[in-house]
Structure 1
Amino acid sequence: MTKVEAFRALHRRPSPDDPLVLPGPWDAASARVLAEAGFPALATPSAGVAASLGHADGRTPADEMFAAVARIVRAVDVPVSADIEGGYGLAPKELVERLLETGAVGCNLEDSADGVLQDPHRHADRLAEVRHAAADRLFVNARIDTFGQAGTDPEQAAVQAIERAALYVAAGADCVYPIGAPTGVLPLLRSGIQGPINVHGTVTGDGPSPAELGELGATRITFGPELQRWAAGALREMVPHLGQGVF
């Protein structure tokens, strides 16, 4: 079984309360820690990688992002999916080739640019081109940004997400990711979306557990840049004690 086949198989969960948990490494060292902890696959967060490279979120040059993903993939034996934001303006064929060169088995592609939602039909066409170029070599996770629009009612955003998800799944997306969806609308999303759903989890323990998110409809759970930010926060707390020998 290839890595992408193994990654696809991980999305076929034995029960609703057992979603696939995909923590997000931001560099090779964090990837090794997570793989050694026993996670069967990883998913890079673009914002976390950007921070590690000294860039603002959404401002990482494509070459640097692909190089960072390649380093993470080389560091571990488990499958790695890559967050490649909106695709950096690359044509679908080139985008797929660049991804495959890194060794990644999947990718996130978002349907907004600079906070503005893209036309869903045009985005679906792009996803179809990516799927055609990739064939079965990549697992495509289509991020849906309706919940990030200011002033949008959560239920209205959920209805819009369901409409977009239908187009994206028909275009060949393997999974959809309605990022920022409140837990209260997850059952609505689950009832209206065919196939796997990616839900954002939390590393702080102040939100639903993975099992609870699974019961609400999540197929898989990612954490965005939360682990990288938590690690940076832990380092800030340690710094004042450097030289004192006490942590």
Structure 2
Amino acid sequence: MRMTVSTFRALHHGRAAGDPLVLPGPWDAASARVFADAGFPALATPSAGVAASLGYQDGSTPPGEMFAAVARIVRAVSVPVSADIEGGYGLAPGELVGRLLETGAVGCNLEDSEEHTTLKDPHRHADWLAEVRAEAGDALFINARVDTFLIGTGDPADAVARARLYVAAGADCVYPIMAPSEVVPVLREGIEGPINLAAGPDKESVTELGRLGATRITFGPRLQRYAMEATRELAARLRE
């Protein structure tokens, strides 16, 4: 495990400008195998995509089902897998880390909002992230999501301030989700360390975000939704 986590962490550092780490988001074991077979060095599950595959709305998946789904994805591939575990499901840091490590995941996303409606106090959230880091040691790569552009003010200064607190608390990477492309240079200048940005399911979007300074690219549930739309079109043709 330690070697795998170390390998995953190393993928985020020493990258050339314009060469972001691209991590597709599998929603089940079958999609994970497709992405791994395509040659991607690691994967990052999206909570919304996994929720949809299990029949839940985003944010409504019972933690036991989410951890079980992550474990199935990890078992299906030989590359490192990071898991989106939303806000941690109200679990104490020790239990959260323990259950995540049991899945075999090497990293996690942890968001700084409640119920996707209210931003958490950044100082209290940073303290909580520090507790998670203390429990995990170096066994987990922590990607701290910053929800300023999703449900907050949209002020880049707020996003930078939150990100700095989370990095100081031990986060390996920060994820200002839904950040507009025009503010990415401001975020890149103000945040030390890797930055995760979300792209659309197209090469042009990935290329542009990499050019602007993204260290890491993920897709949220967009790949799962793209696959479902293709399936919907196929179903319609079969019904004709």
**TM-score when scaled to structure 1?**
0.93
Does residue 1:98 correspond to 2:99, yes or no? yes
What is the identity, as a one-letter code, of the residue corresponding to 1:14? R
What code does the residue aligned with 1:76 have?
A: V
**Aligned counterparts of 2:212 and 2:227: Cα–Cα separation in 1:** 29
* Contact 1:45 1:224 (8 Å CA) reproduced: yes
Aligned-partner Cα distance in 2 for 1:91–1:209: 37
- Structure 2: which 5+ residue stretches go unaligned? none
Q: Which residue of 1 aligns with 2:176?
A: 178
Which residue of the other structure, out of 190, 209, 215, is the alignment partner of 1:219?
215
CA contact (8 A) 2:49 2:224 kept: yes
Q: Residue in 2 aligned with 1:62?
A: 63
Identity value in percent? 69
Given the alignment of the two structures, is residue 232 of structure 1 paired with residue 224 of structure 2, yes or no? Answer: no
- 3-state SS in 1 of match to 2:129: helix
Give 1:16 deviation, angstroms.
1.1
SS of structure 2 residue aligned to 1:221: strand
Q: Is 1:28–1:72's contact at 8 Å kept on the other side of the alignment? A: yes
Mean Cα deviation higher: 100-109 or 232-241: 232-241
Q: Deviations over 1:174-212 (max 9, x none)?
A: 00000000000000000000100000011045xx43232
Structure 1 residue 243: Cα displacement: 7.0
Match 2:185 to one of 181, 187, 201: 187
CA contact under 8 A between 2:107 and 2:142: conserved in structure 1?
yes
Counterparts of 2:234 and 2:226, CA distance in 1:
13
- After TM superposition, give the deviation of residue 70 of structure 1 in Å: 0.1
Number of aligned residues: 238
Tell me the amino acid that sits aligned with residue 237 of structure 2: H
Structure 1 letter corresponding to 2:28: D
In structure 1, the residue corresponding to 2:149 is in which secondary structure? helix
Paired residues of 2:12 and 2:216 also in contact (CA < 8 A): yes
Equivalent residues in 2 for 1:40-51, closer than 5 Å = 40-51=41-52
Q: TM-score, normalised by structure 2?
A: 0.96
Question: CA offset at residue 5 of structure 1?
Answer: 0.6
Per-residue CA deviations over 1:22-69 (Å, capped at 9, x if unaligned) read: 000000000000000000000000000000000000000000000000
CA–CA separation in structure 2 for the residues paired with 1:171 and 1:92: 14
Query: What's the secondary structure of 1:108's corresponding residue?
Result: strand
5+ residue gaps, structure 1: none
CA contact (8 A) 1:175 1:196 kept: yes
Of stretches 210-219 and 186-195 in structure 1, the one that deviates more from structure 2 is 210-219
1:88-147 deviation line (CA, Å, top 9, x unaligned): 000000000000000000000000012100000110011000000000000000000000
Residue pairs, 1:77-92, within 5 angstroms: 77-92=78-93
Aligned equivalents of 2:71, 2:151: Cα separation in 1: 32
Give the whole-Å Cα distance in 2 for the aligned partners of 1:171 and 1:149: 22
SS of the equivalent of 1:238 reads: helix
User: After TM superposition, where is structure 1 displaced by more than 2 Å over at least 4 residues in a row?
Assistant: 208-212, 240-244
Question: Structure 1 CA distance, aligned partners of 2:14 and 2:82?
Answer: 18
Separation (CA, whole Å) in 2 of partners of 1:149 and 1:95: 25
Q: Is the 8 A contact 1:87 1:95 kept in 2?
A: yes
Matched to 1:222, the amino acid is T
* SS across alignment from 2:105: coil
Instruction: Check whether the contact 1:13–1:219 (CA below 8 A) recurs between aligned residues.
Output: no
- In the alignment, is the contact (CA less than 8 A) between 1:124 and 1:167 conserved in 2? yes
Corresponding residue for 1:136?
Answer: 138
Quote the Cα distance in structure 2 between the aligned partners of 1:192 and 1:45.
26
